[in-house]
Structure 1
């Protein structure tokens, strides 16, 4: 199926996937909101304290606490989602999480002290953690192979859109001195949940989830709602049969759908890949983007200039994500991910060397400009491609739980980042400023080495073909060149079993 054929045949699937992915806007919005508030005068006056240098603001420990609060909540939400969504379905889990989001926003909106604000961040992190996995798994399960990369990486675009909106709102309110300077940004979070709830209520359930539950008739009806039924070449029952076949193939390869099964047999390799792929997002220095406004302030820019640079940064991020769709069509996932990490390593080292020079207005703007280039490179490679990889690599029976484990590793590293980055940038702590580029550049190089040896290319593969490639333990660097037919393999294995030859190989 060509890309245009996929768009014509699955326009409804595209629409429903885009709708559910919109929930990620809330995560991107909340992340930038708190990180930018550290450079926000009205917020600092309300929740800050007198610092040793005579200014009023949040200390590095409280910055780390608030930044990590949402990550702690997301870890809880992710583990709950891995169990609940597989039992009750994606739609019901999503609706309950959106209702919880509406309730938890009240805590932040009415918070009178920093302790209450921390509690609010932990609570709102729980439904945000659900969104992190449900959106990308739903996108991967409602579309054909040809659309899979575009709809899963769209999740990254939603994340950047949320960051851009948050920066724009904060930039517009920066000169307010009353409590509404920070309350209005919190209140804007109530805009998204209700329309998304209505959309999710009307959306079809994932046909893959229904097929795994043995509800094939419902899976067929769901699939029919995702497609343009006027196309006579499309046969719903055949697609459902493929889903059932793939599920049975995976059950034969490795029985079970628990978290423990993610670490057994060939699934251990798949779990390793999705976990490291998502962890690399945090290990390659992307945490600096979440603190970009504060980073720009500490680099020497004015408050207005810092917020202007942040707006430009997230606008560039949106352009980069769309550009990644073009790049993936030419280079695939593995090459683009590896090349992106290599480019990020170079730019992080450049930022570090610039910081060694005498700090002037010129060097501050150079550092800020390099972070803009970094953002474009990240959001046209590592950022969006990660979402495609974590949705494609796991088996269909363990996809939700594998993505939960991967995202939780990401969140754990985010907690570490949330502790050390404020200390790196805060003038009363380590005061590294741009020299932090050396630290993150070193970690980024380690990610480059791992990617070269361990990351396979899933581009153009069905879930059944990926199952066979992992079962045959094909080298990561040979995934794209290995030919495999899941149906012929099944027939050959049955014949081999009848002949007593269990060791015959069928992938070449």
Structure 2
């Protein structure tokens, strides 16, 4: 009997040892594949990336038109305030016979949308992880299609406020779905495309003097749905999300649908999925979960702070002038269609911001450098706008034209740096495991800052309130300078780093200005389920 028990015990030990050995082999293979894929990613040029991921690029471009929808709607809200038919419907009669929407209502409508976005951002962190990107975004699109009817039929400014609050929920979802690197910056250009179309539509309505002058622009919001919904339906689910769910074979299939392997014989979907697995496992070890509270624990607190301040900086760098551009131009002395002509030039720059930024990055300019140079240029431009307010009344027309011209210069600095690069930096500063939640928090910070500036700006510009006009430039130049100082000391350079390398640099608390030159090896670290002596070397093998 004792002999039988010893035999059974020996058998169980051999089985356990065999299972452990198999597990070690699996982990070693994952490390080897991940290291190989990482090395290839380091060596991959921009052109090689475009050839390898053409379908991913196309889907990203189409789905990013969600941002165009938001840009279109936000531009309508801010630029209708200089549109006579809209003011007669929703504004109040002034002593000079004109109509103005009161500053309090301007601030209320704009902030209603921002508050709605905060709700949408919280929903995104939960909805994406539970249902996946495709199902969740398609549901939100159906919701937004219904909300547009509120704007179209709004009989009073009170109902417009309700519509703005509900629409903001969808916009919060759209803006928090993040990509990385070059295509992330495309999101800002999409926002500019939406703004440009909105301004062009309003300007084309200047020949009308009836209710359709403002109802037609609202109705055109439905034009986005067929294009974007078709793109979402045809696109595969995110391979990163599938890896987080443990669905590695599905992740491989999704990756193959996003790539053209024939263009690169060295590409291996299996190796790339293992690189995703390695990154995810590394981040699991560092984060121990994926709740919103984790974003404020340990090294993640630093990353969350930087990500939030990147978007806050957009508002404090004078972006509020952009949202109220035609209204600002009208108060500066540009009347009628001239204000909208300047706004179209400004928003036209928004649409090409990503392409100019791509060119800078292709030439080797780091994203930290682009961001800091952009903030410096914005600060100087805002100061000039403020000084233009000192021009005597006799030269008001010339000062108004100079104001319009400087706003275009401001738009160039903003769109070629801060406005565009922030999207890329936000995606790269956060961990992959907490990215959806961190990006959601960053957009909440953006919206909180936007609420503050949207309260201040209508009062600064409205002739029935503070009536600062150009002098508001001095105020925003001061806040922009503070942001420049902050990012000089806190913003790292992510260019040329993989997600895993960024994780380790933050984990080791490397100062922001030393990120670019610090040597780090993501495979010189043992994962939680693997002891260091079992970890394979980082010898890379190309799969053929």
TM interval, short-chain normalised: over 0.9
1:320/1:377 contact within 8 Å kept: no
Partner of 2:386: 352
Partner of 1:112: 155
* Structure 2 unmatched runs, 5+: 1-43, 535-544
Among 215, 219, 234, the residue aligned to 2:251: 219
Partner of 2:222: 190
Partner of 1:58: 101
Shift of 1:428: 1.0
Among 473, 487, 495, the residue aligned to 2:523: 487
Partner of 1:449: 485
Partner of 1:403: 439
2:114/2:448 contact within 8 Å kept: yes
Structure 2: distance between partners of 1:348 and 1:319: 22
Shift of 1:369: 0.6
Structure 2: distance between partners of 1:34 and 1:363: 26
Aligned residues: 487
Structure 2: distance between partners of 1:491 and 1:112: 60
Structure 1: distance between partners of 2:312 and 2:324: 18
Partner of 2:498: 462
- The normalised TM-score by structure 2 is 0.88
Q: Counterpart of 2:516 in 1: which secondary structure?
A: coil
Structure 1: distance between partners of 2:133 and 2:367: 26
Shift of 1:320: 3.4
Q: Deviations over 1:211-256 (max 9, x none)?
A: 0110111100000101003232110011111111111111111201
2:296/2:304 contact within 8 Å kept: yes
- Structure 1 position 304 matched with structure 2 position 337: yes
Among 238, 255, 263, the residue aligned to 2:288: 255
Partner of 1:152: 184
CA change 1:496–1:248 in 2 (3 A) is: closer
Q: Counterpart of 1:192 in 2: which secondary structure?
A: helix
Among 4, 10, 22, the residue aligned to 2:65: 22
- Structure 1 position 473 matched with structure 2 position 509: yes
Shift of 1:317: 2.4
Structure 2: distance between partners of 1:404 and 1:52: 45
1:12/1:225 contact within 8 Å kept: yes
Among 207, 224, 235, the residue aligned to 2:239: 207
**Structure index of larger Rg:** 2
Partner of 1:10: 53
* Structure 1 unmatched runs, 5+: 141-148, 499-508
1:53/1:428 contact within 8 Å kept: no
Structure 2: distance between partners of 1:459 and 1:19: 25
- Structure 1 position 415 matched with structure 2 position 448: no
Partner of 1:172: 204
CA change 1:87–1:162 in 2 (3 A) is: same
2:371/2:417 contact within 8 Å kept: yes
Structure 1: distance between partners of 2:119 and 2:95: 36
Structure 1: distance between partners of 2:91 and 2:297: 48
- Structure 1 position 342 matched with structure 2 position 385: no
Structure 2: distance between partners of 1:98 and 1:270: 31
Partner of 2:300: 267
Shift of 1:492: 13
Structure 2: distance between partners of 1:282 and 1:436: 14
Q: Deviations over 1:365-410 (max 9, x none)?
A: 1111111100011000000000000111111110000000001110
Structure 1: distance between partners of 2:289 and 2:309: 23
Q: Counterpart of 1:191 in 2: which secondary structure?
A: helix
Q: Deviations over 1:146-166 (max 9, x none)?
A: xxx210000000000001000
Shift of 1:323: 1.0
Q: Counterpart of 1:380 in 2: which secondary structure?
A: helix
| Greater RCO structure (CA 8 Å; 6+ sep) | 2
Partner of 2:541: none
- Structure 1 position 293 matched with structure 2 position 329: no
Partner of 2:314: 281
- Structure 1 position 229 matched with structure 2 position 265: no
Q: Deviations over 1:387-443 (max 9, x none)?
A: 000111111110000000001110111111111101000111111111101000000
| TM-align CA RMSD | 1.5
- The normalised TM-score by structure 1 is 0.94
Following superposition of structure 1 onto structure 2, how do residues 496-507 of structure 1 map, counting pairs within 5 Å?
Answer: none
Q: Deviations over 1:434-468 (max 9, x none)?
A: 11010000000000111100000111111111111
2:188/2:350 contact within 8 Å kept: no
Q: Counterpart of 1:483 in 2: which secondary structure?
A: coil
Q: Counterpart of 1:177 in 2: which secondary structure?
A: coil
Q: Counterpart of 2:492 in 1: which secondary structure?
A: coil
Q: Deviations over 1:86-120 (max 9, x none)?
A: 11111111101111111000011001011111101
